[in-house]
Amino acid sequence: MGEHMLALAGALKDQCQLSFICPPTAAGQSFIDRAVAAGLEVFAWELADGARRRLLAWLGARSVDVFHIHAGIAWEATAAAGIAREAGIPVVLRTEHLPYQVWSARQADRHRRMLHHLDRIICVSQASRASFLHHGLPSGVDISVVRNGIPALPPAREREAFRAELGLGPGTLAVLTVARFTEQKDHATLVSAMPAIVGRFPDIRFLWVGTGPLKPKLQVMLDQAGMTPYVVWLGRRTDVPDLLRACDLFVLPSRYEGLPLVAIEAMASGLPVVGTRVSGTAEVVNHGETGLLVPSGDAQGLAGAVCELLSNPALAARLVELGRAAAAGPFSATRMAAETLTVYRDLLRRSETGDQTVARRKAS
């Protein structure tokens, strides 16, 4: 989500005066630092006692036209919309980065009550939009789709030298996965697929970028499967584009997605992609055209797709060519920013003419 926000800000900053608000958590601080380096005004919003008062004061000292909230899960960050509306901001909208995800009636109620503060919901994929509508949002809530996009990737480090730094030999195949260690990302299915892949390609390494609560459980699974020597744990990284270019294949075994930025980055880097046929990923990867998709949770199918691309350079090259073209056009940050700016202007026009959106009338 932070990557999305920085990409959007970078593509909009010549057309809008932007401020970047983010909690200074361990993960958030890195995005704050990058926003500062990009020349954005930054507010490190502490979420401890007094958070509402601090944000109100910060907003009150500025003339803000649009307050754009980004949320990973439906029930997260629900207070921010009300604070922005209390501060008198004309347009308040929110991007949902995942399909509708709530696990209790309380969370559902919190999300529903937030809706009357919003002028628009943006979803990052058609599948995500459908999930919000399916779960009974008020019929008047206005939901747009603006698919994720990425900026041009930075210059690459020299591939072979970087591979040597990672401990990869000249003939070692490297399979990269960038994802938090959570149930959603389903590394467990990849672990189950590994023995079949290693049986075909003994000189292979699986590079895992990320952090998360399931790391200890995954380590136990690797030990039990005898796959520990084949996995390189890389933790949180800021050089993912270089890692993509250093590897031979990208794998994302998720159970569900919003619209995975890293899959787009992999295509832009010229890396073949294997993913699962789930919401979001299936809108990035066209099976047989820009990558291969298998059913979620299908370890045998995942192993088969990985082996197919590693053993068929001609197929991999064809997928890479079409994937690069998609990343440069339909999934570019320029396109994403233009569509987002159109939403801003439309909502500002309605606000200025007194035509409040149907979403606010119906959900209040």
What pLDDT is stored for residue 23 in this prediction?
A: 93
Residue with tokens 């090259």: 317
pLDDT in tens, 240-281: 999 999 999 999 999 999 999 999 999 999 999 999 999 899
pLDDT in tens, 294-334: 999 999 999 999 999 999 999 999 999 999 999 988 999 99
pLDDT in tens, 50-107: 999 999 999 999 999 999 999 988 888 889 999 999 999 999 999 999 999 888 888 8
Closest CA to 113 of 71, 81, 70, 66: 81
How many whole angstroms separate alpha carbon 78 and alpha carbon 113?
9
At 241, the amino acid letter reads P
What pLDDT is stored for residue 116 in this prediction?
A: 86
CA 322-304-269 angle, to 5 degrees, is: 30
Q: Which CATH architecture has domain 159-328?
A: 3-Layer(aba) Sandwich (3.40)
DSSP letters spanning 193-250? HHHHHHHH-SSEEEEEE---TTHHHHHHHHHHHT-GGGEEEEES-S-HHHHHHH-SEE
How many whole angstroms separate alpha carbon 348 and alpha carbon 17?
15
Report, as an integer, the average pLDDT of 329-352: 94
pLDDT in tens, 222-238: 999 999 999 999 999 98
Confidence of residue 148 (pLDDT cuts 50, 70, 90): very high
CATH number attached to the domain at 2-150+332-363 = 3.40.50.2000
Provide the β-strand partners of residue 69.
Answer: 94
Mean pLDDT in the chain?
Answer: 92
CB 336 within 8 A of CB 7: yes
Report, as an integer, the average pLDDT of 124-132: 93
pLDDT in tens, 156-210: 789 999 999 999 999 999 999 999 999 999 999 999 999 999 999 999 999 999 9
What residue segments make up the domains of the chain, in order of their start? 2-150+332-363, 159-328
Instruction: Return the structure tokens found at 175.
Output: 């399979």
Q: In CATH terms, are 2-150+332-363 and 159-328 the same topology?
A: yes
Confidence of residue 144 (pLDDT cuts 50, 70, 90): very high
Q: Is the pLDDT of residue 145 over 50?
A: yes
